[in-house]
A and B are shown apart, each in its own frame.
Chain A
Amino acid sequence: MRLLRAVVIVALLGVAVYVGYRFFARPPQHAAGGVAVYYCKTDGATLARWVVSVNPNATDRTSVAFYATAQTVAGPPADVAAIRFPVGTVVRSVLVDGSTATVDLGGAIATPQAGSFAESGEFKALVWTLTALPGVSAVRVKIDGARVSALPGGHFELDDPLTRQSW
C-alpha cells in the first residue's frame, strides 16, 4: 500500500514537472525566426522583405501584428531604397479580428499626401506584412480612428479591406 502511494506521488510529480516544463519552456510566438516585414522597392512594384526579431513582450497575435506594423511603417534601414511611409506616421492601434487586421494610422499620414506613387507602395508593404501572419488575410486601414475612402488629398482607395489581391 505504501509502495502504491509512493508510485502515485511520483507519477503526479512527474506529470507536474512535465506540464511545468512544457508551460515555462514554450518559446514566445515567432521568437525563433522573428517576423517577416515587407517593403516596396522604388520601382513601385517589387516587394522585398527582411526579418526582424519580435519584441519579447509581443506574445499574442495582436501584439505581433502591432509590432510588425510598426516595423513596416518605420521601414527598412535608411540605406535601403524603398517606398516609405511619411516621416511622422504613427501606428495608433492594430486590432486583429478573425482574418482581418485593422490598422489605425495617424500623424503625418493624416495630412494631405503628395503624389500617388508612394501611396500604393506603402499599403502594399503593409498588406504583405500583415497577411504573412498566420490567419490574417485582409487589412483595413483607418486614419485617426475613422474609416476613410482615401488618404487626405490622396488617391489610393481604402474603402474596403485590402488583400494581396488588391494589386
Chain B
Amino acid sequence: MLVSLAGMPAFGATAAAANNYWFSGTRLAFEHPQVRDGAFAVGTDDNGLARFLAKVGATVSYQPGQRFVIVEASDRRLITFTLGDTHFVVGTVTQAAAFAPYAEGSIAYLPFLDLARALYVDPVSDGETVVMQPQIAALDVRTENAVTVVTLRGASPLQFKRLSKADEDTISLAFLGTGSTLEPDRAVSDSPLRGVSITVGGTPKNPTTVVNFSVTPGGMHVLAPTDSPNSLTLAFAPAGVQLGGTAVPASGGAAVATVPLTVNDSHAASPLPTPPPGAYRGSFRTPAMPPATLPPYGDSTDSNAYPQTPLGPAPAATQTPTANALPSATITNFDTQSIDDGFNIRLSISGPVTYEWHRLSDDRWYVDFKPANLAIPAQEVPLSDPSIVSLRIKPFIGPNDHLATVRVAFTMPSPRGVSLVPTSDGMTIAIDSQDDSTMQIAGTGELVNGSIVAAVVPLPPVVAAPAPDAAEPAPWKFSGPSGVKNPKLIVIDPGHGGSDTGAEHNGLVEKDVNLDVARRLRGVLIARGWQVKMTRDSDIDVYQADDSAHDELQARDDIANSAGARLLVSVHTNAFTTSELSGTTTYYYTAASRPLAEAIHARLSQLPTADDGIRKENFYVIHHQNMPGVLVEMAFMSNPGDAKLLKSSAFLQSVAVGIADGIGDYTSGNQPVSTNSSNDSTDGN
C-alpha cells in the first residue's frame, strides 16, 4: 500500500497531517514511511526513496547488520549516516539530523528531509503541498592567473537556456525547474568576471533560476567539462587570453561541454586554475598529477579520503585560492625529522587555526587546517623512513564550507600512532614507531598561539570503514599478483558509455543500467572498507568519443593496471536478438580469474534471474588486465521478465550487493564448493 508522506509543520511530520510531497512534477509516494521525533523516516528499501534518489543521481547502500548507511550523491559526496547517531556527515562536514537513523529488520530508516537537503533538494511549501525543489546549491568561484572558473552545482542535471546573445557583456543562463537560495549578488575582484547575480522566479513547482555573469569587455568565456550532469562549469578569461573549451550554446547542460579546458596566455606561462572538485577527466590534466601512492584526483578512490583538489604543479610558492574573506592562518614552513621512535612533521603556523584529522582504514592519515593559506609550494616530500611511506602538503578550497584549507596527508606502513603536538610556532605531527591502540579515527581542535585551546572531540567516522571482522581477514594483507600494487583497491568498469550505448531494449539503455549498478557497487564496497576506482563515473567514453573498441577497452584495463588494483569487475547487461533468452552470467578468461568468477556467481545465482552459470570467454576487457577480472552480465534486457527486474531499484541493489558479497567471499577465502559453470561441447561434429 502506498502512503503519501504526511504533514509538515515546519516540514516536520505528524501522523494526522497528510500533505502531499511533490518532486519533479510527480507526487512522492513512499511505501512505508514512519514518523520519528516529529520527522519523516524513510526506509532504505522504499521504492519511493529509490525513485527520488534516482532522479538526483544518488545511490544508497546499506548492509543489514552494519552501522552505516551511505548515500553517494551525483557529485561523489558521501553522505554517511550512523545508526543510533543524530550526527551525519556530508563530505567532511558533520551535520545534525532530526533523529538518529535506526534499523528495523533488514531496513534502515533515515531522516528524509535531512537527506534531501544534503542532496540539494529543499522542501518549499506552496500552501497545500510541499514541493521538494531541486536547488542550485553551490556556486564556486576561483581565480588563478587571470582565469576565473565558476562551477554551479545542482540537485539534478542542470539544463540551461542562454538568454543573452553571444557577444553581450552579461551572460544570462536560465535554469528551468530549479530554485536557489544562493546570495543574489556576488562581486568578484581581480577577475575577468565582474560579478554574478542570481534571480529566482516562477512557482514552487516550476521555479526558474537565472544566473547572470557580468564579464569584462573583450574577454572570453567557455564551458568546461564536469564529471556530473548536475554541475556546470564556465571559465572566463580577460582579453588576450585564449581559452580552449566549448562555446556556450543557446541551450544545453554539462553534456555539451566536451572540449577540455585549456589556457593559452601569450603574456605568461601560467598553470591552469585549480580544477573544481569533480572535474571531468583530463580536462585539467597535466603531466604533474599526483603519483599513484596517493589516489589521483577525480576518482572514488579518494572519495573517502582526499576528496578535494589534487596536488597540482607547483613551480613557485603556492598561494591558497581565496574563496572567502575570513581571516586565516598561514602555514609558513614545513619540514620533517626522522627520530629513533618515529617521524615528525613540523609545521610553522601563524595565526589561529582549526584542524580536523582523519585516520583511514588503509593506513592513510590526514589533517586539514582551515582557514589557512600555504605560503610554501605544495609538495610531495621524498622520504626514506620506516615510519612513513609518503607525505604531501597542498592547499584547496573546501567543497562544502568553501574555506581555504591546507591538507597534510601521509601514508604509513601500518596503523601507527599519531599525535598532534602544539609547538611554539605551530604544530608537530608525531608518527610513532608503534601501531595505534586507541582506534580513534578522527578528531578536531583549535590551535591558538601555540596551544590547543579547544577540546578535541572525536568525530563520527567520515566514511563507513568498519574493521574487517574475523570472518573476513583484512583484504589488503593479501599478497596478490605482481601487478597488484594496492591490494585493497577494486576497479569497477561500468560497461559501454558515452558514444557507445550498448544494448537498448524495453526502454532500457545498457550504459545507464551498468553505471547505476556500478555506483551502487561502489557504495557497498566503500562501506565495507574497500577503495574503489571507477573506469567511468558518468556517461562518457573512457578513451574518447567514437573511438575504436581497442582504444576504449584497453583504456579501461589501463586504469586498473596503472592503479595496481587487486580486482577488476566489469558490469554489463546482456541482450539477444530475440526475447526468449534470460539470466545472469559471469565471465572470466584468465585462469587466475576463475575463482573470482565462481565466488561472485555463487552469490549472483541467488538472484531472481535464470542462472546461466560462469563462462570462459575471451572478452577483451577481462583479458588484458593484470589482476583477476570478471565481466558480469546481470540479466538480458531483451527479455521482458529480466527487463522488468532491471527497472527495479531493489534488483539493481541486489546485484551490487551480490557482487560485493562474492568479492568478500573471494578475498576471505570463503569460496563456494561448487558452481554452475558452462560446459562447452559440440554435437554432430
Contact = CB atoms under 8 A, between A and B. Distances in A.
Do the two chains bind? yes
Interface of A: 38, 42-49, 81, 83-84, 86-87, 112, 114-118, 120, 128, 148-157, 159, 166-167
8 closest A-B pairs by beta carbon, nearest first, are A115-B575, A149-B550, A114-B503, A150-B549, A47-B682, A157-B620, A155-B619, A114-B575
Nearest to B637: A115
Contacts of B503: 114-115
Given A112-B500, A114-B503, A115-B576, A154 B549 contact: yes
A43 B610 CA distance: 12
B685 A150 contact: no
B437 interface: no
Contacts of B680: 45, 167
A114 B550 contact: no
A116 B619 contact: yes
Contacts of A150: 549-550, 553, 620
28 contacts: A42-B576, A42-B580, A43-B678, A45-B615, A46-B681, A47-B682, A47-B685, A48-B684, A49-B684, A83-B576, A87-B577, A114-B503, A114-B505, A114-B575, A115-B575, A115-B633, A116-B617, A117-B576, A118-B576, A149-B548, A149-B554, A152-B500, A153-B500, A153-B549, A155-B572, A155-B617, A156-B617, A159-B620
Given A45-B679, A156-B618, A157-B618, A116 B587 contact: yes
Interface in B70-103: none
Given A45-B678, A120-B617, A114 B502 contact: yes
Interface residues of B, number: 44
Contacts of B678: 43-45
B621 interface: yes
B129 to A, nearest CB: 42
A114 B581 CA distance: 14
Given A116-B574, A116-B587, A42 B631 contact: no
B631 A155 contact: yes
A115 B636 contact: yes
A87 B621 CA distance: 26
B633 A116 contact: yes
Contacts, number: 116
A155 B580 CA distance: 22
A110 to B, nearest CB: 11
Contacts of B612: 44
A153 B505 CA distance: 16
B36 to A, nearest CB: 45
A122 to B, nearest CB: 11
Contacts of B573: 115
B620 A155 contact: yes
Interface in B17-40: none
A153 B548 CA distance: 8
A116 B572 CA distance: 9
Given A112-B501, A114-B502, A117-B633, A148 B684 contact: no
A120 B612 CA distance: 15
Contact of B496 (A84, A118, A120, A153): A153
Contacts of A44: 612, 615, 678
A74 to B, nearest CB: 14
Contact of B620 (A112, A115, A156, A167): A156
Contacts of A43: 678
Contacts of B685: 38, 47, 49, 128
B330 interface: no
Contacts of A167: 616-618, 680
B183 interface: no
Interface in B530-583: 548-550, 553-554, 572-577, 580-581
